[in-house]
Copies of this chain bind each other. A is one copy, B any other.
Amino acid sequence: MQLGMIGLGRMGGNIARRLMQHGHDVSVFDVNPASVDALAKEDATPTHSLEELVKSLAKPRAVWVMLPAGEITEKAIETLTGILEPGDIIIDGGNTFYKEDIRRAKALVAKDLHYVDVGTSGGVWGVERGYCMMIGGEKAIVDHLDPIFKTLAPGLGTIDRTPNFQGDSRSEEGYIHAGPAGSGHFVKMVHNGIEYGLMQAYAEGFDIMRGKSSEKLPEDERYTLNLTDISEVWRRGSVVSSWLLDLTAMALNESPNLEEFTGKVDDSGEGRWTINAAIEEAVSAEVLTAALFARFRSRIDNSFGEKLLSAMRNKFGGHVEGKSHAPSIQG
C-alpha cells in the first residue's frame, strides 16, 4: 500500500522503514533534507515539500503526520488541508490531545477529507518489537488502512494467547480501532497515564528497599539489598513482572546506583490530560495523579509551600528548621 510520511524523526523514520521492509511504498518528507536522503537510500520516494509529497501519491491519498504534538502538527495539518483533495486521508500518529482530534475531524469533514488519529506505543523499540496502535476514526477509513496497521503492529509473536479470546482479532496482533475521531489518542493518553503509575510504583518500592540500609534504622533491622538482583529475580515467576521491569533490570544492571541520572523527571501532556479526564468524569485517580505530581516535585529544589510549612512551624512552636528531635531517616 502507498503512504506519505511527514516527519522522519526517531518514530516517523522507523515507521517508514518497517513499512518498506514489508513491501509498502512510502513517500517521505521532512524539513531536514538529510533525513529525507537517508530514507531515500532505503527505497523511499524522497520529496521536498508537502505539495511534492501529496503529488507523489495516488488518490485516495493517505498521509501520516508524525511530528511533535501541538503547533507543529497543527500547522502541517492546516497546510495539508489546503493541498489534499476530497477522499484523501490525514493520519495523526503523534501525541495530540484528543479534543483537538475531535475538532479537526469535524473541520475536515466539511472538505470531504478523512482524519485518523493513531496513538502509537513502543518507543525506540517499536522498529524491532512492532508498534502497539490505538486508532480512532471512521470505520471504513480505518479498514481501508488496515494493511498499514497490520504491518506496523507486533503481531501475535511469542506471547501466550489469552485463552478463548472473544474480542477483535486485531487486538491480538497489537492494534485496535478504538472508536470515532480522538478515541485512539484518548486510549493512548490513558495508556501513558497508567504508565506513569506503574513506573512510580516500582520507583517507590525500590526506594524503600534502598532506604533499608540507612544507619538511622536499628542495626539489626537494616539490610543492604542488591537491587540489580532483585529487579532480575522478579522478571521470572513473580506477580510484578512486566516490560517496565525488564527495562529496570537492564538499567540497574548497567548502573546499580544510577549516578548518571539527576532524578529530575519530565512529563508530557498525556499524564496531565489523563488527570483532567478523570476530573471531568468525577473518577478518583489517586495513583495516576500521585505519579504525575511526583514528577513535578522532582524538578524543583523546594517549593514556596514547603517554606510556608516551616514558617508556620516556627510561628506556633518556635521550631527552627533542621533542629527537630524527630526521627528522620531519608534526608
Contacts and interface: CB of A to CB of B under 8 A. Distances in A.
Interface stretch (A37-45, A55-63, A75-83, A260-268): A260-268
Interface in A193-222: 193-212, 214, 217, 220-221
A269 interface: yes
A108 interface: no
Given A187-B230, A191-B205, A223-B179, A312 B247 contact: yes
Nearest to A135: B233
B121 A238 contact: yes
Looking at A102, A121, A228, A323, the one whose CB has the most chain B CB atoms below 10 A away is A121
Interface stretch (A19-27, A140-148, A291-299): A291-299
A185 to B, nearest CB: 11
Given A186-B212, A251-B311, A251-B312, A239 B204 contact: no
A176 interface: yes
A196 B263 CA distance: 24
Contacts of A285: 204, 207-208, 293
B167 A330 contact: no
A68 B325 CA distance: 8
B296 A154 contact: no
Interface stretch (A28-36, A85-93, A122-130): A122-130
A10 interface: yes
Pick the most buried of A167, A249, A291, A302: most chain B CB atoms within 10 A of its CB: A167
A125 to B, nearest CB: 7
A176 B297 CA distance: 31
A331 B250 contact: no
Contacts of A223: 178-180, 182-183, 186
Contacts of A49: none
A281 B201 contact: no
B282 A329 contact: yes
Contacts of A253: 162-167
A110 interface: no
A316 B282 contact: no
Contacts of A220: 102, 106
Nearest to A317: B123
Contacts of A217: 280-281
B232 A172 contact: yes
A14 to B, nearest CB: 11
B258 A308 contact: yes
B203 A306 contact: yes
A174 B237 contact: yes
B167 A267 contact: no
25 contacts: A154-B236, A163-B250, A167-B228, A174-B233, A175-B233, A179-B225, A191-B234, A195-B240, A196-B201, A198-B198, A199-B313, A205-B274, A217-B281, A239-B243, A257-B304, A258-B304, A261-B321, A264-B322, A265-B313, A268-B325, A282-B327, A283-B305, A285-B293, A287-B294, A295-B309
